[in-house]
């Protein structure tokens, strides 16, 4: 059965891979992204996909995103909340209040705003799937990244509670916890941190992988395949789960 899917942060990286995989299996897909150039490039490469430029952290943008999604597709069966920001880095007492609030707003509030838009229709049809992106860092803790980790812990609380509340309406809600994703953003982080520590990127990557049981980074396609499974009828009784796709993160520095 064809599904109508909205993916936040669908302009590039994991979001784009997910959007293209849903489209390839015959689903209708609407994406949003704050990066207009990335969104335009993805739409140009994927005829039939639709999208909206906007920030999930701005309620007025979210209203517009879903107004356009409903016009394009008529309904939303699957919501993938993939948008996330890294937030500030530093000891708690030195963190800027505005940076803390921005991280919580985008990583947590944005998911809440998006869920509010799709739930009335999902309840009316007694069918829906919501997949939220958390982080493997909630399993390890990550010093000097408190806003990010706290926001992702909150995403898991939102997911679990929503699964309980929405289960009687036949709406499922799960969370994906990615590990170190092999994408452009992670490569830039490795290069920047390696330079700061006087290491080569290869040396820093080796140090990073020591704390992952399977000594591996995660490909965007792996996350996309997991999301497509959770959105499918094969996972029709899987809800309220926090699924780590990471090779098992043991520790982070």
| ∠ Cα 9 80 56 (to 5°) | 45
Q: Which residues, in sequence order, are bridge partners of residue 178?
A: 245
Residue 148 among the catalytic residues: yes
Per-residue tokens: 234? 């094969």
Report how far Cα 2 is from the mean position of its chain's Cα atoms: 22
Radius of gyration of the chain (CA): 18
Least Cα distance to 176 among 232, 135, 233, 237 occurs for 135
Owner of token pair 């517009």: 64
Sheet containing 171-178: order of strands:
50-53, 28-33, 4-8, 78-81, 128-133, 171-178, 242-245
Q: How far apart are CA 45 and CA 27, in angstroms?
A: 16
Active-site positions?
148
């Amino acid at each position: 059965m064809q599904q109508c899917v909205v993916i936040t942060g669908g302009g590039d990286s994991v979001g784009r891979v997910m959007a293209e995989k849903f489209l390839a299996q015959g689903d209708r897909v609407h994406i949003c992204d704050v990066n207009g150039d990335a969104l335009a490039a993805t739409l140009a490469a994927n005829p039939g996909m639709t999208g909206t430029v906007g920030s999930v952290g701005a309620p007025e943008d979210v209203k517009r995103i879903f107004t356009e999604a409903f016009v394009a597709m008529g309904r939303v069966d699957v919501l993938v909340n993939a948008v996330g920001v890294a937030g500030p880095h530093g000891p708690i007492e030195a963190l800027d209040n505005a940076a803390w609030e921005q991280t919580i707003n985008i990583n947590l509030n944005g998911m809440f705003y998006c869920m509010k838009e799709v739930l009335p229709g999902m309840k009316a049809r007694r069918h829906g799937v919501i997949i939220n992106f958390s982080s493997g860092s909630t399993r390890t803790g990550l010093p000097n990244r408190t806003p990010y980790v706290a926001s992702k812990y909150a995403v898991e609380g939102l997911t679990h509670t929503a699964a309980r509340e929405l289960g009687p309406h036949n709406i499922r809600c799960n969370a994906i916890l990615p590990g170190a994703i092999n994408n452009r953003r992670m490569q830039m982080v490795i290069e920047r941190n390696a330079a700061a520590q006087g290491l080569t990127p290869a040396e820093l990557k080796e140090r990073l992988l020591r704390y992952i049981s399977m000594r591996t980074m995660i490909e965007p396609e792996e996350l996309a395949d997991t999301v497509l499974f959770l959105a499918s009828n094969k996972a029709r009784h899987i809800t309220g789960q926090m699924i780590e796709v990471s090779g098992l993160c043991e520790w982070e520095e």
